[in-house]
A and B are shown apart, each in its own frame.
Chain A
Amino acid sequence: MSAGRSTAGRPELVAEGFPRRRPRWVEMATSSDHKDVGRILIAASLGFLFLALVELLLMRLQLSIPENTFLEPQTFNRLLSIYGATGIFLFAIPLALGLFYYAVPLQIGARATALPRLGQIGLWLYLGAATVLYAGFLYTPSQAGVNPLPPLSELAFIADNGVDAWGTAAGLATLGFILIAIDLSTTVRRLRAPGMAWRRLPVFSWAGAIGSWLLLFVGPVLLAAITMLMIDRNFGGAFFVGGADGAPLLWQHLTWIFYSGAYALVLIAAFAALAEIVPALSRKPLFNRGAVIGSLAAIAVITPLAWTQNMLTAPIGIGWMYFGMTMALALIVPFGLLFFNLIATMVGGTLRLRAPLLFGLGALATISVGLAAELGHSMVASAWQLKNTVDATAATHFALIGGAVFGGFAALHFWFPKMTGRTMGESLARISFWTMLLGVALAFAPLFIAGAGYGQVVDAYKFYDEAGVSTYNLIAGIGSFVLAAGVVMTLANAVLSLRSGPAAGHDQWGGDSLEWFATSPPPAHNFDVVPDVRSEQPLRDIREALAERERGPVPGTARPEPAPTGSAD
């Protein structure tokens, strides 16, 4: 059945095909298998992408005409707060982690993760967080904004328990992510296949480890901040209050370290997925993979250090501002190298413009706009004009929609055959892609003008016609609906393809890493036989060995056939 079995040197117990004793959903829900946990994470995060879109559309409807009265200001602020929490904690981070958690153990030839219970608990903490956040709609969701800055988020100014629900949800989710990150980084550290030295580790697995270490650093910082806010609100603390001894700015320092890290995590996951997709669909090895891995690591280190780049209007010393600017501008190098190397990989290749590569190119285009626009927000005097205008909204959305939605969809199309044994419909993917590309441009490019040119401020539930931004907001509103239509098409495509997609082979795209060595979908134990890894492209070695065997050995030129597990190099 699998390529592995045909080359197997010794029999193994194969645990496939046992009759299932419990319903499938019970099996899934109680499973600590990384593939089940990963698939639930991915499916749930895509569900929350849909909810985030609904919230975005309601807000854009309110902002489609000047002085609209469609939504009350409080309702708008609540939608805004839930939208931000959903996008960050329930969609972008768990999607990245879900992809890592599914693919990395397969890529490194592991049969399970090192600490599977942690991953399982992490998943359930995340689902609990989502429940807490959305249960808020039964009473009063948070109205303190995407990043609930104290003192506004203190009890004195918002007495209902929406902010408590936000804090509980963000805290539970972050705790879950930390547990998953512990499992993931331990797995990469301890359970690599024989012969898979760090230098042979696939880029996406490197990114899984880097992203986990990043989360282990920035996650606790947010947990600390949330704990202090909860103490303030519920136990009479005074960490962030505006009174005599409080330090409202401390919250901004702590949370911006986390949010910068989360931004980096999303982009690291996207670029790393592209570093798997682009070579596979260009039929060409990645251009200088060492530099790609180094760039991903540099982004993980530098981005959280650029946290003051978000605080250039706050009363902090000019030295801190220059520090944030320096770190932000230093990111030009690793991001530039990633763009260069991915494009250089395609040059001279044979590009199969299938859905994963198409969405991958869309991700590169969209992320490039978002990152380039950040330049104006990094240079201090320019940021004094641009910060907290909708120009910032546009820059952040281009980067994060590029990373999490386009990049996430590229990864989804790429690994969907592995996860389900079926391929996602290609023609619907194409229509969805072009709709989304048009949508993101229409929805967010006009905001560059409204923000930079006319100073429209963020988070405002209405604007006045005399501000001159009516046309741009109307276009943005229409664009949001186009974007949403495109996203929904891909979500529908995924659901439909679960049952009716064309059957996929084990190695759908001609990939070079070990997940394509397993069956599609892989059995519970992933591999019957784990091959010895002798290069950074283990599957290519196997393919070449098989081809050679079919042709018959040419004396003196044959490469040694990959041996089953255990044999020494």
Chain B
Amino acid sequence: MLGAWAPAAAADALSPGPAASPAAEEGIVLYWIAFALATVFVVAILATLLYVARKYRSERGAEPRRIRGGAKTQARVGAALGALATVALVIGIVFTESAERTAETGPRGLLTDNERQTLEITATGQQWLWRYDYPNGAFSYYRLVIPVDTRVNLDLVSTDVVHGWFVPALGGKRDAVPNKTNELAIRVDEEGVYRGDSAVLSGTSYTAMRTAVEVVSPEEYEDFVARLKFDIDQAQEEATSRLVGGGAQ
């Protein structure tokens, strides 16, 4: 395990963290387990290769032993590998299940009449923007604002091609595919801004299709969506009146 002895900086460079949500945390722990297992495999194979290539070079002049390989050794190695694969599978399922069970809204989260709320937000991928629709009918582009410590069910849809929603600190990525709804539940425990990218090639401006998740207090969130709704309604009214009145101009 590199993380155990390498300088903290090296471990940092290799870690997808820091995680800001419980689901991301499970994913990152699972990543480190896979990383450790991979390191064991690679180090074992490389070290053996080096050792064997040095020890049994023909320059040493030894005559080869005629071993055709015992079935017993083979069975033991196979069983060990099978056991390892099974353990990896169980670990993989356990951590994935626990990442899927996203924690419910906490005490610092969004409350209405002292009831903890779950927020339903639709994220729509379209060439080359992310649009977020809030429960009250307001919507925003690029920037998603959510309250801290609150369960947010993100429904990912697409209006055109396949997009990948990817905010590393918040539990990774899910694809937005036309005709299907992909679900991602997140709960963020720290206020702050978390940046993300699109992770599926979606055309010319794919690289510019970024996003940011701003996590604020429930009060700020309420204010934000209310003001957003007000602004949108007002802009729409103005546009409507201009269209109606503007016809006479």
Contacts and interface: CB of A to CB of B under 8 A. Distances in A.
A379 B30 contact: yes
B218 interface: no
- What's the interface size class on A, roughly? 35 or more
Given A282-B56, A339-B45, A345-B69, 10 more contacts: A77-B204, A329-B88, A336-B84, A348-B67, A350-B60, A365-B46, A379-B96, A384-B172, A388-B199, A449-B14
Nearest to A364: B49
A248 B33 CA distance: 34
Contacts of A247: 179
Contacts of A461: 206-207
Given A287-B68, A379-B96, A384-B27, A152 B74 contact: no
Most B C-beta atoms less than 10 A away, residue of A291, A321, A372, A373: A372
B52 A382 contact: no
B106 interface: no
Given A248-B177, A282-B56, A333-B82, A381 B38 contact: no
A385 B172 contact: yes
Interface stretch (B114-122, B139-147, B160-168, B235-243): B160-168
B224 interface: no
B58 A375 contact: no
Contacts of B177: 248-249, 314-315
B201 A389 contact: no
B48 A343 contact: yes
- What's the interface size class on B, roughly? 35 or more
Interface in A58-104: 73-74, 77, 80
B113 interface: no
Given A351-B57, A368-B45, A389-B199, A455 B168 contact: yes
Interface in B58-89: 58, 60-71, 73-74, 77-78, 81-82, 84-85, 88-89
B45 A452 contact: no
Interface of B: 12-16, 23-24, 26-28, 30-31, 33-35, 37-39, 41-42, 45-46, 48-49, 52-53, 56-58, 60-71, 73-74, 77-78, 81-82, 84-85, 88-89, 91-93, 95-96, 99-100, 127, 156, 158-162, 164, 166, 168, 171-175, 177-183, 197-207
A168 B203 CA distance: 21
Most B C-beta atoms less than 10 A away, residue of A244, A345, A455: A455
Contacts of A149: 161-162, 200-201
Contacts of B57: 351, 353
A394 B61 CA distance: 40
Interface in A361-417: 361, 364-365, 368-369, 371-373, 375-376, 378-382, 384-389
A435 interface: no
Contacts of B201: 77, 80, 144-145, 149, 152, 458-459
A340 interface: yes
Contacts of B174: 313, 315, 384
A322 B31 contact: no
B170 to A, nearest CB: 10
A352 interface: yes
Interface string A240-283: 00111011110000000000000000000000000000000011
A25 interface: no
A29 interface: no
A369 B52 CA distance: 18
Contact of A386 (B13, B16, B178, B182): B16
A348 B70 CA distance: 14
Contact of B56 (A243, A346, A389): A346
